[in-house]
Amino acid sequence: MGLQAGIVGLPNVGKSTLFNAVSISAKAQASNYRFCTIEPNVGLVDVPDERIDKLAELVKPNRTVPTQIEIVDIAGLVKGASKGEGLGNKFLANIREVDAIVHVIRCFEDENILREEGAINPVSDKDIIDTELQLKDLESVEKKMQRTEKMIRTGDPKVKAEFEVLKQVYAHLESGRNVRELGLSKEDRTAIADLFLLTEKPVLYVANVDEASMHTGNKYSEALKAAVAAENALVIVMNNSIEQQIAELEDADDKALFMDEYKMTEPALNKLIRATYALLQLQTYFTAGVQEVRAWTIHEGWKAPQAASVIHTDFEKGFIKAEVIAFNDYVQFGSEAACRDAGKLRIEGKEYIVKDGDVMHFRFNV
């Protein structure tokens, strides 16, 4: 589906280290100097899902294809970026293109890693980036307000309503708040949809802590959690360096031993990737056959014909019916044939809203 999550943060907070850990298609350079990342790195990331492994175990296909999302490693931002400082304009343009934000914040002390912002302060670091994004959004909203205000003279009630929404958004940004906290209705959001506002994008925070704090967190990660409580945002505590080391181990036994040493049942990255997937309001359905077991990504709330379109547009155009088996039923009975015999295979039409984990087969005619 081409949906992207962008990794952002101040310079030298561990963004590229995190990207290296999650990416399977590219490796970002991680170095100890400002603007190490200039052009954004893009990598495809498998979404960890035990369900596809279980289906593959039952079906024994020729291949297994997990679902993926794109992760973008964006250049570090500095104060003044909204006015073009550092790589400001480029940085902000790159953020505008992604669908969600993974905000990495340094929550550890290390005198060997450069830091120009003074003492470690995750709340202040968050505020620096928030302020720059808000300033850029204010600029965008103000320009549209000026255009819209001129059109109010036509007497069009829709234009007047749009202007009122813009004023509300502007006042919220001016007070130092992010648009995603405003709680606009779906109808009101249409007034700003064409602006692709930076602070409207959903965000997930990564508290990059030291090894000693990777399970418990520390005073810095706790301060960050308190600071973002009003946003209803998730904070994931992890050590990005450890995660990169785990990702670089190719042998499964070596990886298991390494995680056992750090008392980990799975990489924290798995939780991060799943949380990012959920942040984008995505879900998964499966197709299962001897040739392949595959996971497909769709938006929450999609109906069966839309879900079929991600396999091929012809599937949506010629959609007739969908054969659907709930994942738990498939596992319980062990095969499609057994589910059919037990009456667990359902025939659904165009109005069926696909559920996360459905195992599906589409009937179509073109």
Summarize pLDDT for 43-61 with one digit per residue, the tens. 888 889 999 999 999 999 9
- Residue 85 binned pLDDT confidence (cut-offs 50, 70, 90): very low
Give the tokens for residue 290.
């001897």
What's 130-199's CATH class?
A: mainly alpha
86 within 8 A of 35, measured Cβ to Cβ: yes
Q: 15: annotated binding-site residue?
A: yes
Banded model confidence at residue 35, pLDDT cuts 50, 70, 90: very low
Q: Is 16 annotated as a binding residue?
A: yes
Distance of CA 285 to the CA centre of its chain: 18
* Distance separating alpha carbons of residues 57 and 47, to the nearest angstrom: 18
Average pLDDT on 187-206 reads 93
Give the pair of three-digit tokens for residue 270.
């798995």
Residue span(s) of the chain under CATH 1.10.150.300 come to 130-199
Find the mean pLDDT for residues 3-24. 85
Average pLDDT for residues 267-294, to the nearest whole number? 93
Confidence label for 31 from pLDDT (cuts 50, 70 and 90): very low
Tell me the one-letter amino acid at 102. Answer: V
User: What is the percent of the chain where pLDDT is above 90?
Assistant: 62
pLDDT of res. 107: 95
Q: 76 among the known binding-site residues? A: no
Taking residues 262-284, what's their average pLDDT?
91
Which pLDDT belongs to residue 294? Answer: 97
- pLDDT at position 312 is 93
**Could you tell me where in the chain the CATH 3.40.50.300 domains are found?**
4-116+202-279
**Residue 254 pLDDT class (50, 70, 90 cuts):** very high
Cα–Cα distance, 73 to 230 (Å, whole number): 26
Query: Would you say 12 is a known binding-site residue?
Result: yes
Of 151-155, 159-163, 356-360, the one with minimum mean pLDDT is 151-155
Does 31 show up as a binding residue in the annotation? no
For position 26, what pLDDT does the model report? 46
> According to the per-residue pLDDT averaged within each range, which of 85-94, 178-187, 332-341 is highest?
332-341
Question: How many CA atoms, within 13 angstroms, populate the side-chain half-sphere of residue 152?
Answer: 13
pLDDT at residue 83, as a whole number: 58
Fold for the domain defined by 301-364: Ubiquitin-like (UB roll) (3.10.20)
pLDDT at site 79: 59
Looking at residue 295, its pLDDT comes to 97
3-state helix, strand, coil in the chain (%, to 5): 45, 20, 35
**How high is the mean pLDDT of the chain?**
88
pLDDT grade for 11, boundaries at 50, 70 and 90: confident
Q: Was 13 annotated as part of a binding site?
A: yes
pLDDT of the residue at 164: 93
CB 238 within 8 A of CB 269: yes
- Least reliable range by pLDDT among 58-67, 223-232, 280-289: 223-232
pLDDT of residue 95: 84
Q: What is the pLDDT of residues 89-110, one digit of tens each?
A: 566 777 888 999 999 999 998 8
How many C-alpha atoms does 128 have within 13 Å on its Cβ side?
A: 23
> How far is residue 10's CA from residue 21's CA, in Å, rounded to a whole number?
19
Measuring CA to CA, which residue among 62, 18, 22 is closest to residue 45? 22
C-alpha–C-alpha distance, residues 198 and 231, integer Å = 15
Strand partners, 295: 286
Residues carrying CATH 3.10.20.30, the chain? 301-364
pLDDT score recorded for residue 292 = 97
Question: What percentage of the chain has pLDDT greater than the value 70?
Answer: 89
CATH topology of domain 4-116+202-279: Rossmann fold (3.40.50)
Residue 159 has pLDDT above 70, yes or no: yes
The region of weakest confidence among 2-6, 268-272, 336-340 is: 2-6
Q: Is the pLDDT of residue 170 over 60?
A: yes
